[in-house]
Amino acid sequence: MADFRYHVPAECFVGNDAIFKIPLMLGEGIDRAVLVADPDLKDAKSAERLVTVLEARGVKIILFDDLDERPTSAAVESATAMVRGSRAPLIIGLGGIRAIHAAKAIAALAPGDCAIEHWMDGEAPTRQPLPLVLIPTSYRDPFIMSGGLVLGDARSGQAVFLQAQKGIESAIVLDVNLLGAPSAKAAAAALLDGVMCSLEGFMSSKDNFLADMALQESIALYIRALDVLMVRPDDPQAKADAARAFFLSGLGLASSSPGLGSAVSYAVNARWNVPKANMAAVLLPYLFEFLTRSKLEKAALLAPLFCDMDPNEAAATKAARAVEALRTRLGVLKIPSRLKDFDLELERLIESAETARRFDFMNFLPRAMTVDDVFDFIKTVY
């Protein structure tokens, strides 16, 4: 057995109204904080609710929600200047992956004088990051506990993967009442994105016994929540299952790694503005087939989570039936089944293949891949 080491210092709260636990996490002397919030939350009143909770405890909130209409690196640059000017001792991230990753970058950059462009060019910040509380409002983020983040580079329009200091996440709050999506289809796509990330971690060359247990259970919970939410979008138990799946996925991926599907979806999202969750939903069946070729036995272990299975069936048959069950769900949800359905031009996706291959976590795939291999996978999905 290979040596195993595991350390996740983040304080985690999962449950209904977990947001009310945030004041208990704040250290002495925290009298103000910068809230990096997804602008889409204005209508949902989520940011307003959080501000009310914190200001009742004497914490002044400086809101930054200017994340629309520009690459996230430009937003991070503006917000970092705001944090340095205000000398706020705490960063709070509230929203989807874009807001969460921006908040993580800001917490890493604000204590020093490193610019986001320098970090993207290889000069990582060295100062101790500011305390960081993350409150996701979507059902997935493969880097929620690992210090990883993906930003859109304002100079090139491409996605860049950055690794912040380990343990940068001081606290993670998964409030069931804040998790969700604007529509039932968007929620289903986010859950399928979570399944994809957990599947990649389970099949990764960086896998281990703890990650396998957490990720297998996360996939089971994601699929159970998906099947209920497809019929009853407001089912409270399904939302609770999705929150637990998110936590277990983050726990497993903190010691394993996402992979090809995540890399491609981040690359296409940053360059062509296709929602990442929609990309993941399209990629997932093809990714399962791709990973089955390298890890057939592990794929067969997961197969019963997707549909009823005869335990005496061959491993390849089990994996094929799991893929078919995924495609059936996509058909019911009326989610596109091909990349061309997003009006993407195949010849321009070679750029996204190059971007995806540059991500560091691509070094932990079940087998090594070149840019040509990544593009061949994209062509298969196209």
Tens of pLDDT, residue by residue over 124-154, are: 999 999 999 999 999 999 999 999 999 999 9
Dist. CA 155–CA 176, nearest whole Å: 37
pLDDT category of residue 364 using cuts at 50, 70 and 90: very high
Q: Is residue 4 included in any domain, yes or no?
A: no
Helices (H), the chain: 22-25, 46-55, 72-86, 97-109, 116-120, 184-203, 209-229, 236-253, 260-272, 276-292, 296-302, 315-333, 350-358, 371-381
pLDDT digits (tens, 9 = 90+) for 198-212: 999 999 999 899 999
Give the strand pairing for 32-37 and 91-95: parallel
pLDDT digits (tens, 9 = 90+) for 80-91: 999 999 999 999
Parent domain of 294: 184-381
Q: How far is CA 134 from the centre of its chain?
A: 12
pLDDT at 53: 87
Say yes or no: 143 and 233 in one domain.
no
**Each residue's pLDDT tens digit, 57-75:** 899 999 999 998 777 899 9
H and E: helices and strands count for the chain: 14, 8
Same domain, 168 and 201: no
| Segment 343-359 mean pLDDT | 96
Q: Are residues 24 and 113 in the same domain?
A: yes
Q: How many domains does the chain have?
A: 2
What pLDDT shows up at residue 335?
A: 87
pLDDT category at 43 given cuts 50, 70, 90 is low
Beta bridge partners of 33: 61
pTM above 0.85, yes or no: yes
Please report whether residue 1 resides in a domain.
no
Co-location of 295 and 346 in the same domain: yes
Same domain, 228 and 128: no
Q: What is the CATH number of the domain that holds 159?
A: 3.40.50.1970
What is the C-alpha end-to-end distance of the chain, expressed in Å?
A: 40
My answer on whether 224 and 310 are in the same domain is: yes
Asked whether residue 6 is domain-assigned, the answer is: no
pLDDT at residue 287, as a whole number: 98
Residue with the two structure tokens 């910040």: 125
Question: Are 163 and 274 members of one domain?
Answer: no
